[in-house]
Amino acid sequence: MLNQIAQIVARYEELERQMTEPTILADYHKLNELAQERSDLEPIVQAYQSHAAASRQLAAAQEMVEQEEDPALQEMAQEEVDTLNQQIEELERVMRQLLIPKDPRDDKNVYIEIRAGAGGDEAGLFAADLLRLYTRYAETQGWKVELIDENRTGVGGYKEVIIQVKGKGAYSQLKYESGVHRVQRVPATESQGRIHTSTVTVAVMPELEEVDITLDERDLEITNTFSAGPGGQHMQKNATAARVVHKPTGIMIRIQSQRSLTQNKLMALQILQARLQEMEEAKQSAAIAADRKAQVGSGERSEKIRTYNYPQNRVTDHRVGYTSYNLASVMEGNLEPFIDALSIADQTAKLAALEVG
Protein backbone atom coordinates (compact mmCIF):
# COMPACT_ATOMS: atom_id res chain seq x y z
CA MET A 1 0.00 0.00 0.00
CA LEU A 2 2.73 2.46 0.96
CA ASN A 3 4.47 1.91 -2.40
CA GLN A 4 1.27 2.87 -4.21
CA ILE A 5 0.88 5.96 -2.06
CA ALA A 6 4.52 6.94 -2.62
CA GLN A 7 3.81 6.90 -6.38
CA ILE A 8 0.75 9.08 -5.83
CA VAL A 9 2.76 11.56 -3.75
CA ALA A 10 5.41 11.71 -6.48
CA ARG A 11 2.73 12.40 -9.08
CA TYR A 12 1.22 15.10 -6.85
CA GLU A 13 4.59 16.82 -6.50
CA GLU A 14 5.12 16.59 -10.27
CA LEU A 15 1.73 18.21 -10.86
CA GLU A 16 2.60 21.07 -8.53
CA ARG A 17 5.86 21.60 -10.43
CA GLN A 18 4.13 21.53 -13.82
CA MET A 19 1.54 24.06 -12.68
CA THR A 20 4.28 26.66 -12.14
CA GLU A 21 5.61 26.39 -15.69
CA PRO A 22 4.92 29.46 -17.87
CA THR A 23 3.61 27.37 -20.77
CA ILE A 24 1.06 25.66 -18.49
CA LEU A 25 0.04 28.91 -16.81
CA ALA A 26 -0.69 30.32 -20.26
CA ASP A 27 -2.94 27.37 -21.16
CA TYR A 28 -6.15 27.69 -19.14
CA HIS A 29 -7.59 24.31 -20.15
CA LYS A 30 -4.38 22.39 -19.39
CA LEU A 31 -3.95 24.23 -16.10
CA ASN A 32 -7.52 23.38 -15.12
CA GLU A 33 -6.97 19.73 -16.06
CA LEU A 34 -3.83 19.48 -13.91
CA ALA A 35 -5.52 21.32 -11.04
CA GLN A 36 -8.40 18.84 -11.09
CA GLU A 37 -6.01 15.88 -11.02
CA ARG A 38 -4.11 17.44 -8.14
CA SER A 39 -7.36 18.07 -6.27
CA ASP A 40 -8.32 14.41 -6.71
CA LEU A 41 -4.97 13.27 -5.26
CA GLU A 42 -4.86 15.80 -2.42
CA PRO A 43 -6.85 13.85 0.23
CA ILE A 44 -4.57 10.81 0.07
CA VAL A 45 -1.43 13.00 0.01
CA GLN A 46 -2.64 14.83 3.12
CA ALA A 47 -3.39 11.54 4.85
CA TYR A 48 0.08 10.26 3.91
CA GLN A 49 1.74 13.41 5.26
CA SER A 50 -0.21 13.12 8.52
CA HIS A 51 0.78 9.45 8.73
CA ALA A 52 4.46 10.33 8.24
CA ALA A 53 4.29 13.05 10.91
CA ALA A 54 2.53 10.72 13.37
CA SER A 55 5.14 8.00 12.69
CA ARG A 56 7.96 10.43 13.52
CA GLN A 57 6.21 11.47 16.74
CA LEU A 58 5.65 7.80 17.60
CA ALA A 59 9.35 7.01 17.21
CA ALA A 60 10.25 9.89 19.53
CA ALA A 61 7.65 8.86 22.12
CA GLN A 62 8.80 5.23 22.06
CA GLU A 63 12.39 6.38 22.58
CA MET A 64 11.26 8.39 25.61
CA VAL A 65 9.45 5.37 27.05
CA GLU A 66 12.61 3.30 26.71
CA GLN A 67 15.05 5.92 28.06
CA GLU A 68 13.05 8.02 30.54
CA GLU A 69 13.79 7.18 34.18
CA ASP A 70 11.05 9.30 35.76
CA PRO A 71 8.01 6.97 36.09
CA ALA A 72 5.53 9.85 35.68
CA LEU A 73 7.13 11.09 32.46
CA GLN A 74 7.47 7.51 31.21
CA GLU A 75 3.74 6.98 31.80
CA MET A 76 2.91 10.16 29.90
CA ALA A 77 5.11 9.02 27.02
CA GLN A 78 3.40 5.63 26.97
CA GLU A 79 -0.01 7.32 26.78
CA GLU A 80 1.26 9.32 23.81
CA VAL A 81 2.48 6.09 22.17
CA ASP A 82 -0.97 4.53 22.58
CA THR A 83 -2.69 7.62 21.17
CA LEU A 84 -0.33 7.85 18.19
CA ASN A 85 -0.75 4.14 17.43
CA GLN A 86 -4.52 4.68 17.24
CA GLN A 87 -4.04 7.72 14.99
CA ILE A 88 -1.73 5.81 12.66
CA GLU A 89 -4.13 2.87 12.48
CA GLU A 90 -6.99 5.23 11.56
CA LEU A 91 -4.87 7.06 8.97
CA GLU A 92 -3.95 3.72 7.37
CA ARG A 93 -7.64 2.83 7.20
CA VAL A 94 -8.37 6.17 5.55
CA MET A 95 -5.55 5.69 3.04
CA ARG A 96 -6.76 2.20 2.13
CA GLN A 97 -10.22 3.65 1.61
CA LEU A 98 -8.90 6.45 -0.59
CA LEU A 99 -6.96 3.97 -2.73
CA ILE A 100 -10.20 2.36 -3.90
CA PRO A 101 -10.81 3.63 -7.45
CA LYS A 102 -13.91 5.79 -7.58
CA ASP A 103 -16.57 4.75 -10.06
CA PRO A 104 -16.71 7.71 -12.46
CA ARG A 105 -20.44 7.11 -12.90
CA ASP A 106 -21.31 7.53 -9.22
CA ASP A 107 -22.44 11.14 -9.54
CA LYS A 108 -24.57 10.56 -12.62
CA ASN A 109 -28.34 10.62 -12.98
CA VAL A 110 -29.95 7.22 -13.51
CA TYR A 111 -32.69 5.46 -15.38
CA ILE A 112 -34.58 2.83 -13.39
CA GLU A 113 -36.53 0.15 -15.26
CA ILE A 114 -39.01 -1.80 -13.15
CA ARG A 115 -40.61 -4.86 -14.78
CA ALA A 116 -43.13 -7.37 -13.47
CA GLY A 117 -41.63 -10.87 -13.40
CA ALA A 118 -43.20 -14.10 -12.16
CA GLY A 119 -46.56 -13.81 -10.42
CA GLY A 120 -49.04 -12.24 -12.82
CA ASP A 121 -51.10 -9.30 -11.55
CA GLU A 122 -49.47 -9.47 -8.10
CA ALA A 123 -46.06 -8.92 -9.68
CA GLY A 124 -47.44 -5.86 -11.46
CA LEU A 125 -48.82 -4.50 -8.21
CA PHE A 126 -45.48 -4.94 -6.50
CA ALA A 127 -43.80 -3.16 -9.41
CA ALA A 128 -46.03 -0.19 -8.52
CA ASP A 129 -44.95 -0.54 -4.87
CA LEU A 130 -41.28 -0.44 -5.85
CA LEU A 131 -41.90 2.61 -8.04
CA ARG A 132 -43.36 4.36 -5.00
CA LEU A 133 -40.45 3.17 -2.82
CA TYR A 134 -37.80 4.61 -5.16
CA THR A 135 -39.77 7.81 -5.63
CA ARG A 136 -40.00 8.30 -1.87
CA TYR A 137 -36.30 7.54 -1.41
CA ALA A 138 -35.39 10.04 -4.13
CA GLU A 139 -37.49 12.68 -2.38
CA THR A 140 -35.58 12.15 0.88
CA GLN A 141 -32.33 12.75 -1.04
CA GLY A 142 -33.63 15.91 -2.71
CA TRP A 143 -33.54 14.30 -6.16
CA LYS A 144 -35.98 14.88 -9.01
CA VAL A 145 -37.97 11.96 -10.46
CA GLU A 146 -39.43 12.00 -13.96
CA LEU A 147 -41.72 9.33 -15.40
CA ILE A 148 -40.28 8.30 -18.78
CA ASP A 149 -42.60 5.50 -19.88
CA GLU A 150 -45.15 3.14 -18.42
CA ASN A 151 -47.17 0.07 -19.38
CA ARG A 152 -49.95 -0.38 -16.86
CA THR A 153 -51.96 -3.47 -15.99
CA GLY A 154 -55.69 -3.39 -15.56
CA VAL A 155 -55.55 -3.73 -11.77
CA GLY A 156 -53.39 -0.72 -10.92
CA GLY A 157 -49.97 -2.28 -11.41
CA TYR A 158 -47.28 -2.07 -14.07
CA LYS A 159 -45.98 -4.52 -16.62
CA GLU A 160 -43.11 -2.09 -17.02
CA VAL A 161 -42.30 1.43 -15.88
CA ILE A 162 -39.20 3.57 -16.52
CA ILE A 163 -38.24 6.62 -14.47
CA GLN A 164 -35.30 8.98 -14.52
CA VAL A 165 -33.79 10.09 -11.22
CA LYS A 166 -31.80 13.32 -11.39
CA GLY A 167 -29.47 14.29 -8.57
CA LYS A 168 -25.83 14.25 -7.50
CA GLY A 169 -24.80 10.78 -6.38
CA ALA A 170 -27.96 9.07 -7.65
CA TYR A 171 -26.09 6.19 -9.29
CA SER A 172 -23.76 5.70 -6.31
CA GLN A 173 -26.76 5.03 -4.09
CA LEU A 174 -29.19 3.27 -6.42
CA LYS A 175 -26.81 1.01 -8.36
CA TYR A 176 -27.19 -1.72 -5.75
CA GLU A 177 -30.93 -2.04 -6.53
CA SER A 178 -30.36 -3.90 -9.83
CA GLY A 179 -31.66 -7.45 -9.63
CA VAL A 180 -34.69 -9.58 -8.82
CA HIS A 181 -36.87 -8.40 -5.94
CA ARG A 182 -39.11 -11.11 -4.47
CA VAL A 183 -42.31 -10.38 -2.57
CA GLN A 184 -44.21 -12.83 -0.34
CA ARG A 185 -47.68 -11.71 0.72
CA VAL A 186 -51.39 -12.40 0.51
CA PRO A 187 -52.78 -10.63 -2.57
CA ALA A 188 -55.84 -8.43 -2.11
CA THR A 189 -57.69 -10.69 -4.55
CA GLU A 190 -56.88 -13.88 -2.63
CA SER A 191 -59.99 -15.03 -0.79
CA GLN A 192 -58.32 -18.04 0.87
CA GLY A 193 -55.61 -16.00 2.57
CA ARG A 194 -52.80 -17.91 0.84
CA ILE A 195 -49.37 -16.34 0.57
CA HIS A 196 -48.17 -15.79 -2.99
CA THR A 197 -44.58 -15.35 -4.13
CA SER A 198 -43.96 -12.94 -7.00
CA THR A 199 -40.96 -11.17 -8.49
CA VAL A 200 -40.07 -7.84 -10.05
CA THR A 201 -36.83 -7.09 -11.90
CA VAL A 202 -35.07 -3.76 -11.45
CA ALA A 203 -32.35 -2.39 -13.73
CA VAL A 204 -30.47 0.77 -12.75
CA MET A 205 -28.47 2.43 -15.54
CA PRO A 206 -26.38 5.60 -15.35
CA GLU A 207 -27.23 8.40 -17.74
CA LEU A 208 -24.52 8.63 -20.37
CA GLU A 209 -23.14 12.05 -21.14
CA GLU A 210 -20.53 10.82 -23.56
CA VAL A 211 -21.78 7.84 -25.50
CA ASP A 212 -19.48 4.84 -25.08
CA ILE A 213 -21.70 2.61 -27.18
CA THR A 214 -21.99 3.75 -30.79
CA LEU A 215 -25.30 3.02 -32.45
CA ASP A 216 -25.27 1.97 -36.09
CA GLU A 217 -28.32 3.36 -37.86
CA ARG A 218 -28.55 0.15 -39.85
CA ASP A 219 -29.20 -1.71 -36.58
CA LEU A 220 -32.12 0.54 -35.66
CA GLU A 221 -35.76 0.41 -36.60
CA ILE A 222 -37.38 3.74 -35.67
CA THR A 223 -41.10 4.27 -36.07
CA ASN A 224 -43.59 6.91 -34.99
CA THR A 225 -46.74 5.83 -33.20
CA PHE A 226 -49.72 7.54 -31.63
CA SER A 227 -49.38 8.28 -27.94
CA ALA A 228 -51.69 6.41 -25.62
CA GLY A 229 -53.48 7.58 -22.52
CA PRO A 230 -54.34 11.12 -21.39
CA GLY A 231 -52.75 14.09 -23.05
CA GLY A 232 -55.46 16.08 -24.80
CA GLN A 233 -56.11 16.53 -28.47
CA HIS A 234 -52.46 17.07 -29.33
CA MET A 235 -51.46 13.72 -27.89
CA GLN A 236 -54.39 11.94 -29.52
CA LYS A 237 -54.08 13.28 -33.08
CA ASN A 238 -50.31 13.49 -33.60
CA ALA A 239 -47.93 10.54 -33.87
CA THR A 240 -45.54 11.87 -31.20
CA ALA A 241 -44.52 8.57 -29.57
CA ALA A 242 -41.19 7.11 -30.70
CA ARG A 243 -40.55 3.38 -30.96
CA VAL A 244 -36.92 2.28 -31.38
CA VAL A 245 -35.94 -1.36 -31.93
CA HIS A 246 -32.29 -2.45 -31.75
CA LYS A 247 -32.36 -5.33 -34.20
CA PRO A 248 -29.19 -7.19 -33.05
CA THR A 249 -30.45 -7.55 -29.48
CA GLY A 250 -34.21 -7.19 -29.96
CA ILE A 251 -34.36 -4.43 -27.34
CA MET A 252 -37.40 -2.22 -27.90
CA ILE A 253 -37.81 1.24 -26.36
CA ARG A 254 -41.04 3.21 -26.69
CA ILE A 255 -41.21 6.73 -25.29
CA GLN A 256 -44.21 9.05 -25.25
CA SER A 257 -43.55 11.15 -22.15
CA GLN A 258 -42.08 14.12 -24.01
CA ARG A 259 -44.17 16.65 -25.90
CA SER A 260 -42.52 16.36 -29.30
CA LEU A 261 -41.54 13.45 -31.51
CA THR A 262 -37.94 14.67 -31.63
CA GLN A 263 -37.67 14.73 -27.84
CA ASN A 264 -39.15 11.23 -27.58
CA LYS A 265 -36.68 9.89 -30.15
CA LEU A 266 -33.72 11.42 -28.33
CA MET A 267 -34.91 10.00 -25.01
CA ALA A 268 -35.45 6.53 -26.53
CA LEU A 269 -31.98 6.51 -28.09
CA GLN A 270 -30.40 7.63 -24.82
CA ILE A 271 -32.10 4.85 -22.86
CA LEU A 272 -31.11 2.32 -25.53
CA GLN A 273 -27.49 3.44 -25.31
CA ALA A 274 -27.55 3.22 -21.53
CA ARG A 275 -29.04 -0.28 -21.64
CA LEU A 276 -26.49 -1.52 -24.20
CA GLN A 277 -23.68 -0.01 -22.13
CA GLU A 278 -24.97 -1.77 -19.04
CA MET A 279 -25.15 -5.08 -20.93
CA GLU A 280 -21.56 -4.69 -22.16
CA GLU A 281 -20.28 -3.86 -18.68
CA ALA A 282 -22.19 -6.83 -17.25
CA LYS A 283 -20.42 -9.13 -19.72
CA GLN A 284 -17.04 -7.71 -18.77
CA SER A 285 -17.81 -7.92 -15.05
CA ALA A 286 -18.92 -11.53 -15.37
CA ALA A 287 -15.71 -12.41 -17.16
CA ILE A 288 -13.49 -10.70 -14.58
CA ALA A 289 -15.40 -11.39 -11.35
CA ALA A 290 -18.86 -12.92 -11.41
CA ASP A 291 -19.79 -11.60 -7.98
CA ARG A 292 -18.90 -7.98 -8.66
CA LYS A 293 -22.15 -7.07 -10.32
CA ALA A 294 -25.68 -8.21 -9.51
CA GLN A 295 -27.51 -9.42 -12.57
CA VAL A 296 -31.20 -8.91 -13.20
CA GLY A 297 -31.60 -12.46 -14.51
CA SER A 298 -34.79 -13.85 -15.94
CA GLY A 299 -37.07 -12.84 -13.08
CA GLU A 300 -37.44 -16.34 -11.65
CA ARG A 301 -38.26 -16.56 -7.94
CA SER A 302 -34.96 -18.33 -7.15
CA GLU A 303 -32.86 -15.46 -8.53
CA LYS A 304 -33.77 -12.93 -5.85
CA ILE A 305 -31.40 -10.35 -4.40
CA ARG A 306 -33.93 -9.19 -1.83
CA THR A 307 -37.10 -10.61 -0.28
CA TYR A 308 -40.02 -8.57 1.07
CA ASN A 309 -41.97 -10.86 3.41
CA TYR A 310 -45.18 -9.14 4.50
CA PRO A 311 -46.49 -11.77 6.99
CA GLN A 312 -43.21 -11.59 8.91
CA ASN A 313 -42.78 -7.81 8.45
CA ARG A 314 -39.31 -8.61 7.12
CA VAL A 315 -37.05 -7.38 4.32
CA THR A 316 -33.85 -9.35 3.69
CA ASP A 317 -31.03 -8.56 1.29
CA HIS A 318 -29.51 -11.92 0.40
CA ARG A 319 -26.25 -10.48 -0.94
CA VAL A 320 -25.08 -9.22 2.45
CA GLY A 321 -27.46 -11.03 4.79
CA TYR A 322 -28.91 -7.77 6.12
CA THR A 323 -32.49 -7.91 7.46
CA SER A 324 -34.92 -5.20 8.54
CA TYR A 325 -38.03 -6.04 10.56
CA ASN A 326 -39.73 -2.77 9.67
CA LEU A 327 -41.10 -3.50 6.21
CA ALA A 328 -43.50 -0.55 6.25
CA SER A 329 -40.62 1.86 6.78
CA VAL A 330 -38.63 0.32 3.94
CA MET A 331 -41.58 0.57 1.56
CA GLU A 332 -41.82 4.28 2.48
CA GLY A 333 -38.33 4.77 1.06
CA ASN A 334 -36.08 4.00 4.03
CA LEU A 335 -33.34 2.31 2.01
CA GLU A 336 -30.33 3.80 3.80
CA PRO A 337 -29.52 0.74 5.98
CA PHE A 338 -29.51 -1.55 2.94
CA ILE A 339 -27.47 0.84 0.80
CA ASP A 340 -24.96 1.35 3.63
CA ALA A 341 -24.55 -2.42 4.13
CA LEU A 342 -24.12 -3.04 0.40
CA SER A 343 -21.70 -0.14 0.02
CA ILE A 344 -19.54 -1.40 2.89
CA ALA A 345 -19.51 -4.93 1.42
CA ASP A 346 -18.56 -3.55 -1.99
CA GLN A 347 -15.72 -1.46 -0.56
CA THR A 348 -14.48 -4.39 1.53
CA ALA A 349 -14.34 -6.60 -1.58
CA LYS A 350 -12.50 -3.90 -3.53
CA LEU A 351 -10.02 -3.42 -0.69
CA ALA A 352 -9.35 -7.16 -0.58
CA ALA A 353 -8.76 -7.20 -4.34
CA LEU A 354 -6.48 -4.17 -4.01
CA GLU A 355 -4.38 -5.81 -1.31
CA VAL A 356 -4.10 -9.06 -3.29
CA GLY A 357 -3.09 -7.07 -6.38
Per-residue pLDDT, 55: 94
Nearest to 150 by CA among 231, 249, 234: 231
Residue that is last in its domain, among 40, 66, 99 = 99
Of 153-162, 223-232, 257-266, minimum mean pLDDT range: 223-232
pLDDT at 64 over 80: yes
Assess whether 149 and 244 both reside in one domain.
Answer: yes
Assess whether 193 and 307 both reside in one domain.
Answer: yes
Per-residue pLDDT, 286: 59
Assess whether 88 and 223 both reside in one domain.
Answer: no
Assess whether 92 and 188 both reside in one domain.
Answer: no
pLDDT in tens, 21-63: 999 999 989 999 999 899 989 999 999 999 999 999 999 999 9
- Average pLDDT over the chain, rounded to whole? 84
Assess whether 126 and 242 both reside in one domain.
Answer: yes
Assess whether 159 and 83 both reside in one domain.
Answer: no
Per-residue pLDDT, 298: 43
Question: Do the domain assignments include residue 79?
Answer: yes
Residue that is last in its domain, among 70, 99, 128 = 99
More confident residue, 67 or 210: 67
pLDDT at 3 over 80: no
Assess whether 95 and 177 both reside in one domain.
Answer: no
Pairing, β 196-206 against β 110-116: antiparallel
Assess whether 198 and 306 both reside in one domain.
Answer: yes
pLDDT at 82 over 70: yes
CATH of the domain at 270: 3.30.70.1660
Assess whether 92 and 134 both reside in one domain.
Answer: no
pLDDT in tens, 297-325: 444 445 689 999 999 999 999 999 999 99
The domain total for the chain is 2
Assess whether 93 and 115 both reside in one domain.
Answer: no
pLDDT at 285 over 50: yes
What residues form DSSP beta bridges with 241? 225
Per-residue pLDDT, 294: 38
Burial of 129 (0-12, 13-18, 19+ CB in 10 A): middle
Whether the full predicted model's pTM is greater than 0.75, yes or no, is no
Average pLDDT over every residue of 259-265: 82
Question: What residue numbers bound the domain in which 41 lies?
Answer: 2-99
Per-residue pLDDT, 93: 82
Residue that is last in its domain, among 99, 134, 164 = 99
Per-residue pLDDT, 40: 86
Q: How confident is the model at residue 235 (pLDDT cuts 50, 70, 90)?
A: very low
pLDDT at 150 over 60: yes
Per-residue pLDDT, 126: 96
Question: Do the domain assignments include residue 29?
Answer: yes
pLDDT at 156 over 70: yes
Per-residue pLDDT, 233: 38
More confident residue, 88 or 258: 88
Assess whether 193 and 306 both reside in one domain.
Answer: yes
Of 13-17, 135-139, 214-218, minimum mean pLDDT range: 214-218
Q: How confident is the model at residue 291 (pLDDT cuts 50, 70, 90)?
A: very low
